[in-house]
């Protein structure tokens, strides 16, 4: 390896080197996990929590956009202006 730093991670009491293209995906069943700041700064955390109400809203938006596209467009514009 030419002048490239060795990448390593500590697992327990052992330091293990890894390839730069290596990716690690972790999942949890915790609904609201808490991580230390040093973990958050070096990771990307994605929340895939799905709620029934959220799915209902998505389905309704899809139906309205097919049946009444102007109505869905008006709703999007109202939300846009509220967020300004």
Q: Is 38 a domain residue?
A: no
| Position 77 in a domain | yes
Domain-located, residue 17: no
Q: Tell me how many domains the chain contains.
A: 1
* pLDDT digit string, tens, across residues 34-71: 888 888 888 888 877 778 888 898 899 889 889 999 99
Does pTM surpass 0.85? no
Q: Which structural domain, as residue segments, surrounds residue 75?
A: 52-83
74: in domain? yes
Q: Would residue 69 count as lying in a domain?
A: yes
| Assigned domain for 64 exists | yes
Checking if the pLDDT of 74 tops 60, the result is yes
Degrees, nearest 5: CA angle 20-41-28? 85
Residue 9's pLDDT band (boundaries 50, 70, 90)? confident
């Amino acid at each position: 390896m030419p002048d490239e730093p060795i990448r390593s991670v500590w697992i327990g009491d052992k330091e293990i080197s890894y390839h730069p293209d290596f990716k690690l995906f972790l999942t949890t069943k915790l609904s609201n996990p808490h991580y230390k700041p040093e973990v958050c700064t070096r990771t990307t955390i994605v929340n895939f929590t799905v709620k029934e109400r959220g799915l209902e809203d998505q389905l309704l938006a899809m139906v309205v956009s097919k049946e009444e596209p102007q109505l869905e467009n008006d709703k999007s514009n109202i939300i846009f202006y509220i967020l300004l």
